[in-house]
Each structure stands twice: as C-alpha cells, then as structure tokens.
Amino acid sequence: MSLRMPAEFEPQQAAILIFPERPGSWGFHAVPAQAVFGQIINFISRHGETVYVVVSENTRSAAERMLDRSENICLVEIPTDDAWARDTAPTFVKNDETGEVRGISWRFNAWGGAYDGLYAHWERDDALAEEFCRRTGFPCVSAGDFVLEGGSIHSDGEGTILTTESCLLSPGRNPGMTKAQIERKLCDMLGGEKVIWLPRGIYNDETNEHVDNVCAFIRPAEVVLAWTDNRDDPQYELSAACLEALENTTDAKGRRITVHKLPIPDIPVCVTETDMEGYEFEEGEDTREVGERLAASYVNFFFANGIVLLPQFGGENAASDRRALDIMKGLLPDREIIPVGALEIIKGGGNIHCITQQIPAGRKT
C-alpha cells in the first residue's frame, strides 16, 4: 500500500486539539489558555471542519462551557499529560488510490526522555495516538520504538520532508540510529523521497528546535522562514544557516525552493513575574524563570480549510503582528488569514501549530 503524508495546505476532514490543564505549562489553572484554545476550536469548526477535542474528567465541563454547540465539535475523553496535540496525537498519512487515511503512532518521550525531556512522566501522552485512533475508528500504524514528535516534520505532499538536525539528531530521541537511518525511517513512514535537513530552529525552543517553529511549506517548492535582520539577535545566525541550507538544495521533484522571510517579533516575548505566579511545577518538570525568552514565531500557524490561524503577540509587538499578517495575506490571497491572540499559548512553550494536528480529507477504511 502506497501511503504519503499530505501537505497541511491540502484539504482536511478534521483537526485534533487537547483541552489544556497541566499547571506547569498553563498558568492560573489553565483558564486563560483554555479561552484561547476554545477560540481556535470554534474558528476551525465554523469553517466546516470537524474538530476532535481530547478532554479529561477535569476539563470536560470547561470545554462544554466554552465551545460552540456544534455537530462539528466532538469531545473524546482520553487522559493525557499535556496539550501538545501536534506532538502526541497521530500523524496522518493517506493512500491516494483508495482514499484511506491512517494514523501513525510514534514513540513520545517528552522531547528528550531521561536526557533532556521536559517532564518526568509521559506515559499517557505516549499512549494517546493509538488510543485516539482506536476510539475514533482510524486505522493505526505503529512506528515501533522510533521517537518523533509531529512538530519536528513538515511535508510538501509531493515527497519532500522538512526537519531540523538539532531536533532529530538530538541524543534524547533515537541515539542508536545514524542520520541516514533516521532519514530512511521518515521516508518509509511518510512516503517521502527526500529529506531536507535544516541545521537549526528558533532560539531557546525547548523542543530542541522543532521545524514547525522556523520553516513551513505554503505550497510545493515554497516556504516561509522565520527571520530577523538584527545581527545582534541570537536568532540571526540560526535563520541564516537555514536560509543557506534551503538555497543550496532542491526538493524531491528537483525544484529550487522559493523562500519568503517571515520576521519574528521585534521585541522578544519573555516570561514575566506575573506569569510565574500562575505556574505550578511538578517534581522532575522543566521550570521557567522571570525574563526567560520564549520561542515566539509567526511560522507556527495552522492551515485549516480556507483559512490560516496566525499567532499574534500584542503589546509591544503590535507592529510586528501587523507586518506578519500583511505578509501572510500577500502570500496566501486565496485564504482568509485569521489573527489569533496567542500569548497564552506561547507561555506554555509552543503556539497554534503545536496545539493542533490535522487529519487529511479521505476515509477511515
């Protein structure tokens, strides 16, 4: 059976989000974050797409209260450790001949396991992909012991897989595999023909620099790249290295890649004293500190049918927000670009793309 990972800009049947509650990620009992998650879920559902919302016993009532009463929203009660659906929900592949869509269950170890993982217990997150497929009726393919998060890969839908060396070659993922072996595993599981390795991601990204925060396909052979012109910003060298890599390669079809620069916020988004008052960290969990720079990037957007949900950070970055919105409108004139105030998401460590996972159009069996 020939399976491929469709691009995110291709038609979708559904999206997956997990309603947040982990006190070490989402401050003030997760109430501010839940409001933003709810807004995103409602946006997607109002554009004719099913949204599977994974809830727990603790979050079901809040989700029911905040979400539209819509046939497009389906609550699925499965316990999880956190709310990063991009990394813990299945990655979906499709057989174009039959239209069948299947989920892939990767191993998840909290972004690094015992080496540099972000929390000590991740068993429920690791089990989510298989359990979600079982509960919703999607066939599930196991990746065995291969550790991977969905945020570490992008697909153009035509055989090209994009990732970062800093993440997939991290000692906390698959230390017993060579780069060539990892590349072959990606191609085998995702129907890829070529892997483009970017050297780095976004500065201070605690996922070991996922690709979804630094570079994304907007159509075949065309990407947006997180950028800064400020040579004193630590992001400059990271983005410049990625640009060089993209300019010196071709995709799986032999095409040169067009790169559009999407500047990061002009003012770094950092943890405040007020933010720290809201967190409750568990033993063995990575903690935050006042002044810590968060990995804010406008590349961490989400494609849904006919729309793009674009992070906005507000405050000092109002001008940066408008610039990113104007750039995306120019690049994707056939879609509605919806700005979403995402400050409460970045405080958890990621952004809109990190909390969503798409299911491509197709059928379950």
3-class SS of residue 365: coil
pLDDT value for 354:
98
pLDDT in tens, 112-152: 999 999 999 999 999 999 999 999 999 999 999 999 999 99
**259: which strand partners?**
223
| Tokens found for residue 240 | 């410049």
Q: How far apart are CA 259 and CA 190, in angstroms?
A: 23
What is the CA angle 27-31-37, rounded to 5? 105
Considering only CA atoms, which of 196, 150, 215 is closest in space to residue 356? 150
Annotated active-site residue in 133, 215, 242, 354: 354
Length of the chain: 365
Instruction: Give the number of other Cβ atoms within 10 Å of residue 296's Cβ.
Output: 27
| Tokens found for residue 122 | 């991740």
* Structural contact between residues 125 and 85, judged by C-beta atoms closer than 8 angstroms: no
pLDDT in tens, 34-70: 999 999 999 999 999 999 999 999 999 999 999 999 9
Q: Describe the strand order of the beta sheet including 160-164 as a list of residue ranges.
A: 154-155, 160-164, 194-198
Q: Give the mean model confidence (pLDDT) for residues 169-174.
A: 98
Residue type for position 114: A
pLDDT in tens, 186-198: 999 999 999 999 9
pLDDT in tens, 202-260: 999 999 999 999 999 999 999 999 999 999 999 999 999 999 999 999 999 999 999 99
* Structural contact between residues 189 and 143, judged by C-beta atoms closer than 8 angstroms: yes
Q: Could you tell me which residues come within 8 angstroms of residue 298 by beta carbon, excluding any fewer than 6 positions away? A: 226, 262, 263, 264, 265, 310, 311, 324, 328
Q: How far apart are CA 343 and CA 314, in angstroms?
A: 8
| Tokens found for residue 125 | 């997150």
Q: How far apart are CA 150 and CA 89, in angstroms?
A: 8
Q: Give burial (CB, 10 Å; 0-12/13-18/19+) of 323.
A: middle
pLDDT in tens, 87-115: 999 999 999 999 999 999 999 999 999 99
Domain 12-360 falls under CATH 3.75.10.10 = yes
Where are the chain's structural domains?
12-360
pLDDT in tens, 64-80: 999 999 999 999 999 99
117: left (phi over 0), alpha (psi -120 to 50) or beta: beta
Q: Identify whether 242 is a catalytic site residue.
A: no
Q: Give burial (CB, 10 Å; 0-12/13-18/19+) of 116.
A: middle
pLDDT at 365 over 90: no
Under the banding of pLDDT at 50, 70 and 90, the label for residue 1 is low
pLDDT value for 2:
84
Instruction: Give the number of other Cβ atoms within 10 Å of residue 289's Cβ.
Output: 8
pLDDT value for 364:
86
Q: How far apart are CA 354 and CA 345, in angstroms?
A: 9
Give Cα 152 to chain centroid, integer Å.
8
3-class SS of residue 339: strand
**162: which strand partners?**
154, 196
Average pLDDT, the chain: 97
Query: 């960290």: which residue's tokens?
Result: 281
* Structural contact between residues 206 and 170, judged by C-beta atoms closer than 8 angstroms: no
282-289 contacts, C-beta under 8 A, 24 or more apart: 282/23, 282/24, 282/119, 282/120, 283/120, 284/119, 284/120, 284/121, 285/24, 285/118, 285/119, 285/120, 286/24, 286/118, 286/119, 286/206, 287/24
pLDDT value for 78:
98
Query: 């995702």: which residue's tokens?
Result: 190
| Tokens found for residue 217 | 């396909």
